Structure 1
Amino acid sequence: MATQPMLVGNVVLISVDIQGHPDAMPGTAGIPHMGGYHDLVANAERLVAAARDNAIPVVFFQEVHRPSGLDIGRETDGAEDMHCVEGDLSTGLWPTLTPRDGEPHIVKRRYSCFIGTELDIVLRGYRADTLVLMGGLTDVCVHYTFADAHQRDFYVRVVEDAVGGSSRPAHDASLAAMEYLQAGARRRTDEIVAAFNDLGAQRRATAAGAAVPVQVRS
């Protein structure tokens, strides 16, 4: 079985639909198997902070649908009702996980971050090699984004304690499916933060500020 270092070349952190507001979502909404939404948020905050500290780009995604349902497509044909409606408090990005000036914020109408968005263009601009995914849902938007990235020949890592699924079985099954596609895809917040710090240290040790393709940890 092929194995790869944890991070290869230029890295981009992708925040997949970490949406909602403390006033609109109970602490265990949607992902009780993780112990609550705030566990995911806390880990995501650490990842974003480490990325920023080490000059690793962060791209923020937000799923939004028009109230008319014009762009919802087939998304309500299964278990999901109308969701992520424009203007709803729970549709906004989580207050502590929003882009700073210069960080891309991309609105999407479908589950995959690649469908109908400018992500391909943004990743070309960053000369991205490795994508690190966090957010939700593990078995929906994260999984579909992972699969689309894999088929575009990116290295992809999913931070398993910074994603949450529609249920524990669905969460676990999707993580297993992603690991099947890329051995070593499943990672945890502590090791990704450490790898970001390693990458930043390597870059600071080089003469110029340009991103240098490197391989970090295995």
Structure 2
Amino acid sequence: MSKTALIVIDMINTYDHEDAELLLPSAKAVVPVVAGLLRRARRDGVPVIYVNDNFGEWRSHHGELLGHALAGPHAGLVEPLKPDEASLFVLKARHSVFYETPLEYLLRQQGVEQLVLCGQVTEQCVLYSSLDAHIRHFGVVVPRDAVAHIHPDLADAALCMMERNMGARVCESRDLFGGQD
């Protein structure tokens, strides 16, 4: 069995950006699902890597981003997903978790061959990250109930593309890391 890592995309968020109002209902629905994935992955010793936008704050580090998000009006969406001491954190500037980040190097150093992608936004960052993982020969798993979207129709199309064009396994979160809590 290949070594798997759980990649949490852009969930450390203040939701004060364009399209946030459209994203919030879906984000609220996936937070408990992602929290369950985190609990089970940590229990099973699966590496957890947060890859998060830096929101143009080039002087920030992950602790500052987390503190800012926890001080904001949507802290309840961030609190259940906080990184623990064992979690790794990579900052990104654009959509893909790989674009101009050290993530590939980190994954190779850890012997990771398969990525479970969760977080937001399905039709943007998750889709582009899935493609970049595929072209780097990583296996990709996307639990459909653990990815938040802005536009449901585009999210459905993105999941279909990931499955058909990128060989991703699209499943439910209960199918991962020993099932539900």
TM-score range, shorter chain: 0.7 to 0.9
Structure 2 vs 1, CA of residues 190 and 67 (structure 1 numbering), >3 Å: closer, same or farther?
closer
1:46 aligns with 2:36: yes
**C-alpha offsets along residues 144-191 of structure 1, whole Å, 9 cap, x if unaligned?**
000000000011001100102220111000000000134461011111
- Corresponding position of 2:27: 37
* Superposition TM-score, scaled by structure 1 size: 0.68
Q: Counterparts of 2:81 and 2:7 in 1: how far apart (Å)?
A: 12
SS at match of 2:81: coil
What is the aligned-residue RMSD (CA, Å)?
3.1
SS in 1 for 2:117: strand
Query: Which protein is richer in helix relative to its size?
Result: 2
Structure 1 or 2, whichever has the larger Rg, is 1
Output the CA distance in 2 between the equivalents of 1:182 and 1:10.
19
Whether 2:121 is the aligned partner of 1:120: answer no
Q: Contact (CA 8 Å) 2:13, 2:78: kept in 1 or not?
A: yes
Local SS of the residue matching 1:18: coil
Amino acid at match of 2:40: A
Whether 1:10 aligns to 2:6 is no
Q: Give ranges in structure 1 of 5+ residues lacking alignment.
A: 1-7, 69-83, 198-218
Q: How many residues align?
A: 169
Percentage identity across paired residues of the two chains? 26
Q: 1:98 aligns with which of 68, 82, 86?
A: 82
Structure 2: distance between partners of 1:45 and 1:62: 16
Q: Are positions 1:146 and 2:136 aligned together?
A: no
User: Displacement of 1:61 after TM fit?
Assistant: 1.4
1:15, 1:59 within 8 Å by CA — same for their partners in 2?
A: yes
